Amino acid sequence: MRFVRRALLAAALSVPYLAAGAAAAQGFPTQPITMIIPFAPGGPTDVVGRMLGEVMSRELGQPVLVQNVGGGGGTIGVNRVVQARNDGHTILYTNIGIATQPTLYRRLPYNPLTDLETIGLVTPTPMVISLRPNFPGTTLADFIAYARQRRDGVNLANAGLGSASQLCGTLLQAALGINFTTVSYTGSGPIFPELMAGRIDVYCDQTTSSLPFVRDNRIRGVAMATASRLPQASEIPTAAEAGLPNFEVSIWHGFYAPRGTPRPVIDRLNAALRVAIQDPAVVARLNDLASPPEPLDRVTPEAHRAFLEAEINRWRPILQAAGQFAD
Ligand code: MLT
C-alpha cells in the first residue's frame, strides 16, 4: 500500500516536470542557438561544426551561431557550456578530448558524464601524421631517424592538453620512446601556419583539417594512424607500413547540452543533427575528408552516452601510463 502511495506521489510530481519539459520543447528554439567550439577557428572541430550548424539552423528555424572558446585543451569551452542555461540554446560540439580530460586534469571543474547531456555522436575521424614542408626527408622513417638524433630538439604541436592532437602526439612519443618539445596552441587553426612556416616539425591531427593542406603540398602527410590506407589519400601509407606498427588512433565527435536540458529539447536537437549528417552536401564533404557520418544508430543520446563512458574508461589507464597530467 505504502509502495502504491509512493508510486502515485512520484507520478503526480513528475507530471508538472514532464509538462514543463514538453512546453520547453514546443517553443524551442525561441532564439539563436550558440554552438560552443572549444578550439580556435579554422581547425577540424570548427570546420565540421560550422558545416553542421548551417543545416541545423535551417532545421531549427533559428540561427546556430558558432562561438570559439579555445584554451585549456578544450576544457574552457566545455566548462562554458556546463555553466550555461540548460534550455537548449547553448550547445557544445567537441571531440574525443572530452573523454581524456577527466584523466589528464585531476581537478577538472566538471564531470562530462554528470554535467552534460549527450545529444548524439557525429563522425569518426582518422588521424594523420604530417611534417613541415621543408623537412629534410619525405617519409615517416626519415622523421623517426631525425627524431632519434634530435630528441627534444623536435617541435611537436598540439591543441592543448586534453585535445585530440595531444592524445595522438602523446601516443606517438610513447611509441617512439622520445619526449619532443611540445608546443600548445588553442586549436589546430593556428597550428597549420606554424607547420607550413617550418616552426613546428611534426603534427598529428585529423584528416578533416590536414588533408586539404596535404593535397596542396603545403604540409607533408607521412602516415595515417589507421589499420589500412584511405581511398581519399591512398598515397599516404599507414603508420605500420611506414615503420610504426600498431599505431592506430581513432577520433570521434559529439554534441552536448548542459545537464538538465529537457529531454524533448534534446530530442529536437538530435533530430536536427540527424538531418544535418544525412544532408547530401555534408555527406559528400565529410566523405571527401575521410570522416563519414556515424551510422544513425550511434546518433542517439543513449548510444553517445554509453560510448562516452566506455571511452573515458578506455583511455584512463593508457594516459596514466603515459604520465602526462595538467595538474
Ligand atoms: C584537436 O586537436 O583536438 C583539434 O584539432 C582541435 C581543433 O579542432 O582545432
Whole-number percent of the chain with pLDDT over 90 = 88
d(CA 284, CA 53): 16
Q: Report whether 295 contacts 283 (CB < 8 A).
A: no
Using left for φ > 0, alpha for ψ between -120 and 50, and beta otherwise, residue 40 falls in beta
Report the pLDDT value the prediction gives residue 322, as an integer from 0 to 100. Answer: 83
Burial class (CB in 10 A: 0-12, 13-18, 19+), 241: middle
Of 36, 39, 75, 204, which is best to mutate to test ligand 1, by the most ligand atoms within 8 angstroms of its C-beta? 39
Q: Say if 239 falls within a structural domain.
A: no
d(CA 311, CA 254): 13
**What pTM, to 2 d.p., does this model score?**
0.92
Q: Report whether 163 contacts 192 (CB < 8 A).
A: no
Q: How many CB atoms lie within 10 A of CB 104?
A: 26
Pairing mode of beta strands 155-158, 250-258? unpaired
Report the pLDDT value the prediction gives residue 326, as an integer from 0 to 100. Answer: 74
Ligand 1 site, residue 70, Cβ cutoff 6 A: no
The single-letter DSSP state of residue 294 is P
d(CA 81, CA 256): 8
Same domain, 119 and 134: no
CA distances 15 to 2, 7, 27, 299, Å, are: 20, 12, 19, 28
Residue 59, phi then psi, degrees to nearest 5: -65, -40
Q: Say if 302 falls within a structural domain.
A: yes
Same domain, 135 and 112: no
Whether 68 has a pLDDT exceeding 60, the answer reads yes
Ligand 1 site, residue 164, Cβ cutoff 6 A: yes
Ligand 1 site, residue 165, Cβ cutoff 6 A: yes
Q: Which atom of ligand 1 is nearest to the CA of 168?
A: 2
Q: Say if 98 falls within a structural domain.
A: yes
Same domain, 211 and 263: no
Q: Say if 18 falls within a structural domain.
A: no
Instruction: Name the β-bridge partners of 158.
Output: 184
- Number of separate domains in the chain: 2
Q: Say if 20 falls within a structural domain.
A: no
Average pLDDT over residues 74-85: 98
How does pLDDT run across 122-177, given as a tens digit for each residue?
Answer: 999 999 999 999 999 999 999 999 999 998 899 999 999 999 999 999 999 999 99
How does pLDDT run across 42-54, given as a tens digit for each residue?
Answer: 999 999 999 999 9
At 327, the pLDDT band (50, 70, 90 cuts) reads: confident
Instruction: Name the β-bridge partners of 181.
Output: 155
Establish how many alpha carbons lie within 13 A of residue 200's alpha carbon, considering only the half-sphere containing its beta carbon.
25
Same domain, 91 and 64: yes
Domain containing 203 — which CATH number?
3.40.190.10
Which segment of 23-32, 50-59, 252-261 scores lowest on mean pLDDT?
23-32
Ligand 1 site, residue 163, Cβ cutoff 6 A: yes
Same domain, 39 and 130: no
Report the pLDDT value the prediction gives residue 13, as an integer from 0 to 100. Answer: 45
Domain span at residue 160 reads 126-233
Q: Say if 24 falls within a structural domain.
A: no
